[in-house]
Structure 1
Amino acid sequence: MKASLAVMAVGLLMVGCSEKQPQESKSTNSSSGNPLTAPVDYLGAAGKAKKHIEKTLDTVGIKQAIQMFQASEGRYPKDLQELVAGKYLPSLPQPPAGMKFQYDSKTGDLKIVEQ
């Protein structure tokens, strides 16, 4: 009994005290870390953030209008212009430059994709 406990204790110590290998973490930040390129890195990140926010804001309003249409009509709109015709949206917002709306009338799913 004592021998098996000793073997288990040694095994736990070996497993618990093993050397852990550092994992390489992939950074989502594409910064080079060079102070000379910091302004360029900042402008690039700001441009990406602006485009992401524009996409998010446009889709949130339209998705809410799609949900209101579905709740009152019992179906999804055939196209996005039906939201404007039914007064669920005052007008259809323009997608960001180089992008377009992709709408699935069967599921009510809306995405902004590249043209």
Structure 2
Amino acid sequence: MNKLKITRIKFTSYMKLYCIMSICFGMMIGFVGLIIGILGGPVSVSIGQSIYTGFVGGLLGLIVFPLLICVFGNLIGLVTYLPFRLFMKIKKGVFLNFEYEYDDIFEKSDNSIKLDESEADN
């Protein structure tokens, strides 16, 4: 694993990350609803005037929840971007552990991304 220190993040990059995390969270909730629907639990999904329950409701929830949570996640991302930048300014950056494929990404970058190889071994 390598360690990356992020001192600034562009708005578009922040929103991409927030959208991906929101979709994953929505899929997790959708899968739980699908499993509960398969087991005969009280799952219902309302689409317009139609109400679907049981397995069909769980299956539709697998589609509806990620989309719905992505929309609300993007709204939350809009509101939390400036506080996140303030937090990063106060903390002087955030360290992330990650794996990457080298594709000249660090040669083209400005000072907002600093690869710290010395701390990558820790």
Same fold (TM over 0.5): no
Larger gyration radius, structure 1 or structure 2: 1
More helix by share: 2
TM-score normalised according to structure 2 size: 0.29
- Higher normalized contact order (CA 8 Å, seq sep 6+, divided by chain length): 2
TM-score normalised according to structure 1 size: 0.31
